[in-house]
Structure 1
């Protein structure tokens, strides 16, 4: 009791009641205790009577029934079910549900009489439902998705055709980042300050656009890149020459180049063109619409966050200089990406998609037709 009356971590009400009981145990009057503790004398009388009747358990709050529930569990479940439908399926002219719109729809359907937005939000929070959020995704359309993806994943694990790669064999991930614009802001950007984010003027003048071509050494975490006015076969082959004519690729036994299915390096023609120029090179394509398997895309996302956005450059020359300077800065401290998506994860992904298409065959047929 003394610890509860003096403890700094004890709740205010529990500490107050403990102080009343301790003073009552010393024989002090209700009026004196009320003055010392700073409460009304009726409060002291209440807790003295409670402790005399029930003992220490009497210091806890009594169970209160509270106000009767305004809405039933069935009404809450019906609103949750509505939130799990697309608005178009429910006949609402919306792209996604919000709590105010769900509350309004519940009233119009006669589900519940005027639930508040906070009530709907509380109901949805019970099952972690957030219908206002959305994520984009795409069906697998490549009939050879698994063997193509498995080859790429095996290369990241340094395996080719079931045989581990040697020390003189390298894996290069290559691609292009297009349409990097030079945007000259009409007013200079303002540096961040206390409780203030950096401010960038919305209006700008266009200074053209360029493409950034990059090749990423998966094992050594080294980027080789350069800028071109546009993409195409010639710029891509120029990047190949830049990488293959310097070490370690120049003296390598084999160099595997992982690319997506872009027009500048698509199909068998691109593979033949690469081998004709460099016999030790092997072109490996990711599955169609699966650029996420290409590790250089991770580097491009870093470039987008740290160099490109927000863009405030007077001309393309400054954009190119900044990209090359960042490439040197990145290579100085870069570590290989911790790629954790293995062939076992690929099998799990395909199994989930198979279950989904089995439940929704119409979506599968539409995706294959596309």
Structure 2
């Protein structure tokens, strides 16, 4: 049975919406592929499933629509998750992942794996995702943040958020950072929505052709981005990039939000700043890169231009990045910061209190 235009639009929206469960998105893609005239065998090969599985989900969709793509409830009473486990999940979610994980932020699968390996607590990643939705948590987004141990955390929050909410008259506020080791991947297999939610990496599905380091400066007032790729990420490259930025705003007072990294504080950088008093650095607290709004833009370019791209060389990757920046700037819009310093500090104090309570209860 051929799909209607409305059905195709509905299924395509499921495939492209990151809020939709990746498994459901993969099933929607199978239905679309079959409607395009592909055989069940071909779709099965593309999706990495069996032919009967393809037929099952196509039939389920035609019988029940989008609800038919979800898993049916299993018989029996669902297992109860103790309140202490729920509290532990929420506490871990609001903290930075432990160093042993090597993660910058949690995904539901990574958190479930961590609990099983290190705390002998077994819950499904679906349960964790549901719990996050119930409490309005999204660790993969810039709106969440980890606890910082920087003793000057409060002062730095007030300083940087003050720039966002009330920038100095006539000054330009820029958010600057680097996205390191961006890989030029030449994919040998189609990339499906379900691939992004897998724990293991399918290394046989792509070939690496090197990496580049993306430096970017976001103008908080206009939303425009100045970007440049470098083969290395050192203090020398950072200073070269900052000189480019300074030249783009001649004679203007520049307030630059940067992370407190060694590449941003070399002797050469300090000397250059002393020679250019119109340029002032504002350092984010340790472990609080979420305060730097250019991180939002890095997330967007990763999703829209890098993650699913196929690049046979670093040159092609760099060209794609430059093309994306050009297109972005033709219709740039600024990100709007709404949280006040007091709101942020109140939330951080609350999280600290809840973590202390949890640790105290675990010690009893």
**TM-score scaled by length of structure 2:** 0.58
Cα distance in 2 for partners of 1:241, 1:134 equals: 36
1:97 is matched with which residue: 123, 135, 138? 123
Give 1:191 deviation, angstroms.
10
Give me the whole-angstrom Cα distance separating, in 1, the residues matched to 2:318 and 2:124: 43
Structure 1 segment 1-370 matched on structure 2, within 5 A: 80-81=82-83, 84=86, 94-98=120-124, 138-159=146-167, 165-167=168-170, 169-186=171-188, 189=190, 203-246=205-248, 249-252=249-252, 254-266=253-265, 269=267, 272-360=270-358
Q: 1:149 to 1:185 in 2, by over 3 A?
A: same
Contact 1:221 1:336 in 2 (8 A): yes
Q: For the pair shown, which has the larger CA radius of gyration, 1 or 2?
A: 1
2:178–2:214 contact (8 Å) kept in structure 1? yes
Higher RCO, Cα 8 Å, sep 6+: 2
SS in structure 2 at match of 1:84: helix
- Do 2:218 and 2:294's aligned partners in 1 also have CA atoms closer than 8 Å? yes
Unaligned runs of 5+ in 2: 1-75, 89-111, 194-201
Question: Which secondary structure does the structure 2 equivalent of 1:215 belong to?
Answer: strand
Residue 245 of structure 1: SS of its match in structure 2? helix
Q: Distance in 1 between matches of 2:122 and 2:215?
A: 38
Structure 1 residue 213, shift from structure 2 partner = 0.4
Is the 2:115–2:122 Cα contact (8 Å) retained in structure 1? no
SS of 1:284's partner is strand
How far the C-alpha of 1:345 sits from its partner, in A, is 1.4
Conservation of the 8 A alpha-carbon contact between 1:274 and 1:281 = no
1:224–1:282 CA distance, 2 compared to 1 (3 A): same
Indicate the SS of the match to 1:231: coil
Partner of 2:100: none
Q: C-alpha deviations, 1:167-204, integer Å up to 9, x for none?
A: 2x1111100001111112235x4899xxxxxxx99522
**Is residue 178–residue 213 contact of structure 2 (8 Å, CA) maintained in 1?**
yes
Q: Deviation of residue 251 (structure 1)?
A: 1.9
TM-score (norm 1): 0.57
Q: Is the 8 A contact 1:185 1:201 kept in 2?
A: no
Q: Tell me how many residue pairs correspond in the alignment.
A: 247
Deviates more, 1:144-153 or 1:133-142: 133-142
Check conservation: 1:271, 1:282, Cα contact below 8 A.
Answer: no
> What is the alpha-carbon distance in structure 2 between the residues aligned to residue 128 and residue 228 of structure 1?
38
1:86-137 Cα distance to aligned partner (Å, 9 max, x none): 699999974432499xxxxxxxxxxxxxxxxxxxx9xxx9x99989x99586
Output the CA distance in 2 between the equivalents of 1:279 and 1:216.
20
CA contact (8 A) 1:182 1:208 kept: yes
Q: Verify the 8 A CA contact 1:215 1:225 in the aligned structure 2.
A: yes
Take 2:218 and 2:133, find their aligned partners in 1: how far apart are those partners? 40
Question: Could you tell me how far 1:220 is from its partner in structure 2?
Answer: 1.6
Which one has the bigger helix percentage?
Answer: 2
Secondary structure, counterpart of 1:139 in structure 2: coil
Which residue in 1 is equivalent to 2:36?
none
Give the unaligned 5+ runs of structure 1. 1-69, 101-120, 160-164, 193-199, 364-370
CA distance in 1 between counterparts of 2:237 and 2:307 reads 24
